[in-house]
Amino acid sequence: MSRNNPINPTRLSTNTAMEESPIITPLNEEQRKAVTTPPGPVLVLAGAGSGKTRALVHRIAWLIQEHGTAPWSIIAMTFTNKSAREMQNRIEELLIAPTRGLWIGTFHALGLRMLRQNWQAAGLPEQFEVIDNADQLRQIKKSMEELKLDEKSFPPKQILWRINACKDDGHRAHNLPGELSKDEIFSLVYQNYQKRCQQLGLVDFGELLLRTYELLKNNQIVREHYQNKFEHVLIDEFQDTNHIQFQCALLLSSSHQNIFAVGDDDQSIYGWRGARVENMLGFNRTFPSASTFRLEQNYRSSGYILQAANAIISKNSGRLGKRLWTNQADGEPIQIYRSYSETEEAQFVVSIIRSSVASGSAHNEHAILYRSNAQSRAFEEQLIAQGIPYSVYGGMRFFERAEIKNALAYLKLAVNRDSDPSFDRVVNMPPRGIGKQTMDSVRLTAARHNTSLWEASLLAVDDPETSSRSRESLKRFRAIIERIASLSKDRPLDALVETSLHESGLIDHYSKDRGETAISRIENLKELVTAAESYTSEHSQEGPSQREDELNLFLNHTALEPGPRGTEEAHDSVQLMSLHSAKGLEFNTVFLCGMEDGLFPHQLSISEGNLEEERRLCYVGITRAMQKLYLCHASSRTVFGKPMRCMPSRFLAELPENLFPDARQSSFQRQNPEMNPGSGDATMTDIFGNALELGCTVHHGKFGEGTVINAEGTGASARVQINFPEVGQKWLVLNYARLKRI
């Protein structure tokens, strides 16, 4: 992304003033046209690696420096926290001066910001809380309990899924479209869940967007305020916006229509969460006066990789139609590897990374990409075994871990005593003798007096009917919260977090257990203190803030940010992530793993008939690679603890054979990765005559089991390189080694 553009634009430029500008100079002709086009509706169709982010970043810089726009008059919407951060950094680099007042962030973060500023107009309590998926599921279950609905016949997960889908499309429970409105059970749960959230002041991720939309749509004063404030609206990854997000952008820009959208229909991979490519395909209908630009020159990948990407994506129908091209040479051939199991796949990938690092590459130039997060496990095990540093993105987030949520619940109660979900979560965590009986009576009191659990617990303490044991326990709990709250007034954030861990008794509780999980929980809690510390230092320049505000802001931050950062990116490590989270990134070497039918494309997508989105995901994966691409598949994989046979992904069959000049057989199904590219037809075998292939597992009398990672020579001099997890890598001559294929 941040590489230099090889085009020398001075020859193309006719404007002398512009030649001097670092904002314009590094751009190619199409990029420059897009960046410098006069304000108004603009659509940039940008292929993978064609400088999409670059166009957006330079557009913002151009608006500020050349067009004289104030930073605070610009709002830029991205999809991930990561790309928001990257854009912010790159703009500051370009402009040298910090860009104060520029609104740049994810749709969710920007929505939250508007809702916090206008909580009253949005119909929310001042202390509303953002809840994650797990909390949302908990509330849905409670709703269903209240409605006496059986979880077996109405799976809460499915209901959650459907509620979110409704919110993505802008539907409230009382206003469901067609068929859904006939599902009385569903609309009842949706309604009840929403009422619950409103009472408790809870906002789920979908609600964050829907509320923002409703706020802008229904409140003229707020709408006009933001319309006047923001003279320019910019959208990254436009193909992934859902209905509500696009409507928000339209509302914000409706008075001036200065909307700059950048995207690639071929990289639309979020249909499952409501994304509408039509927002992009119909842009010119929405804005007949829009200017459209196409960026088709790819600066990222070598020729073979780009050909593979084009071959895959050309199998899709209904595309806007773009053809990426490059000046680069073909580069290194793409490699397909088949392994026996996921363990072997991991051993293989890690071996390659090892030798690549040994020959001078950095760890973080290697990415291991997979369809589902569960696949990271096998790779992590191998990387740990071989002592290679790595970072996993996605999966369970730091702030979603149970121990972290417990710690945060204490802090939330200190800020807002009426946070019932937090009360519920930690009133008996660590266990302090407040069980079902006690809580049932507290809940009853709360319902009768229409108060929060906190208020009700005070009534229970004063009520002689309450058992003295319960009374004492509740008193103790209330004292802990009050104590943390009083400390929050004059203690710096990190010290406050640290003290609250002890005051709450969480540290003591987890310390009692010497088990592995308990130890990692303690470590995570310590990490929370570090996270608080770095949050303070990173945000201190944003002006002096009250101590209490600081805690509030930190809690806000934990709702949307994935976790403590800086460690992964600063630290040179192998990058592990899902294909979805890899979007927008690039790596020298990419391992696309688990390329098996049923896994990728995923079985559920196959049965939903959603193959085209899976294919785009494959396209995204391939186009992440700059120099080397490995496509891996296993012939057997453990699913739910049982080994299952796997067929190679149908996407592999869609790649033309000329991309694999090393391969001697055309069909990948028969083409076990060839042992000895380009050196005759010798077949390597073990002592029984079983063919040896790259990636297969063999047994050696002295070294044990290992994976074949390389081979050379023929006849008596034929030898193979084997990676033994215990002993490391060895070259062994076949005639002597007595290898047995397993």
Which residues here bind DNA, judged by CB under 7 A? 79-82, 106, 108-109, 133, 155, 157, 164, 205-206, 269, 272-273, 371-374, 394-395, 428, 431-438, 470, 560, 562, 577-578, 580-581, 602, 604-605, 608, 610, 614, 617, 640-641
Rounded distance, CA 162 to CA 149, Å?
16
Cβ nearer to DNA, comparing 164 with 552: 164
Cβ nearer to DNA, comparing 134 with 682: 134
Rounded distance, CA 446 to CA 454, Å?
8
Of 217, 277, 234, the C-alpha closest to 102 is 234
Beta strands 636-639 and 625-634: pairing type? unpaired
Please confirm, yes or no, whether 549 is among the known catalytic residues: no
* Distance, C-alpha 584 to centroid of its chain: 11
Tokens for 397? Answer: 């987030």
Burial of 510 (C-beta count, 10 Å sphere; 0-12/13-18/19+): buried
CB 41, min distance to DNA, A: 25
Please confirm, yes or no, whether 52 is among the known catalytic residues: yes
CB 416, min distance to DNA, A: 22
What residues contact 122, with CB distance under 8 A and at least 6 apart? 115, 211, 212, 214, 215, 219
CB 205, min distance to DNA, A: 3
Q: What element of type H or E holds 43?
A: strand 42-46
Tokens for 544? Answer: 């002096």
Of 586, 58, 577, 659, the C-alpha closest to 300 is 586
Rounded distance, CA 237 to CA 267, Å?
9
For residue 296, which amino acid is it?
A: E
Cβ nearer to DNA, comparing 152 with 670: 152
* Distance, C-alpha 166 to centroid of its chain: 22
Cβ nearer to DNA, comparing 272 with 740: 272
Please confirm, yes or no, whether 624 is among the known catalytic residues: yes
CB 226, min distance to DNA, A: 19
Q: What is the DSSP letter of 635?
A: S
Tokens for 404? Answer: 């972290």
Cβ nearer to DNA, comparing 170 with 333: 170
Cβ nearer to DNA, comparing 62 with 107: 107
Rounded distance, CA 480 to CA 503, Å?
6
CB 438, min distance to DNA, A: 4
| N-terminal to C-terminal alpha carbon distance within the chain | 43
* Distance, C-alpha 475 to centroid of its chain: 42
Buried b (16+ CB within 10 A) or exposed e, 691-712: ebbbbbbbebeebebbbbbbbe
CB 70, min distance to DNA, A: 26
Cβ nearer to DNA, comparing 148 with 285: 148
What residues contact 57, with CB distance under 8 A and at least 6 apart? 87, 90, 91, 94
CB 576, min distance to DNA, A: 11
Tokens for 486? Answer: 């009083």
Catalytic residue among 32, 52, 354, 401: 52
Catalytic residue among 204, 236, 344, 597: 236
Catalytic residue among 31, 53, 247, 347: 53
Rounded distance, CA 261 to CA 78, Å?
11
Q: Within 10 Å of residue 721's Cβ, how many Cβ atoms?
A: 18
CB 343, min distance to DNA, A: 12
CB 297 within 8 A of CB 77: no
Which residues sit opposite 574 in a β-bridge?
390
Cβ nearer to DNA, comparing 314 with 610: 610
Q: Coil, strand or helix: which one is 424? A: helix
Please confirm, yes or no, whether 326 is among the known catalytic residues: no
Cβ nearer to DNA, comparing 101 with 435: 435
CB 665, min distance to DNA, A: 31
Catalytic residue among 322, 583, 624, 628: 624
Catalytic residue among 237, 240, 264, 693: 237
Rounded distance, CA 6 to CA 27, Å?
9
Cβ nearer to DNA, comparing 419 with 438: 438
Tokens for 631? Answer: 């496509």
CB 560, min distance to DNA, A: 5
CB 272, min distance to DNA, A: 4
Q: How many CA atoms lie within 13 A of 349 on its CB side?
A: 39
In 175-265, where does DSSP find H-type helix? 178-182, 184-200, 205-218, 220-229, 243-253
Rounded distance, CA 187 to CA 553, Å?
35
Cβ nearer to DNA, comparing 32 with 616: 616
Question: What is the Rg, in whole angstroms, of the alpha carbon atoms belonging to the chain?
Answer: 29
Q: What is the DSSP letter of 714?
A: -
Q: What is the DSSP letter of 5?
A: P
Cβ nearer to DNA, comparing 133 with 254: 133
Catalytic residues: 52-53, 236-237, 267, 624
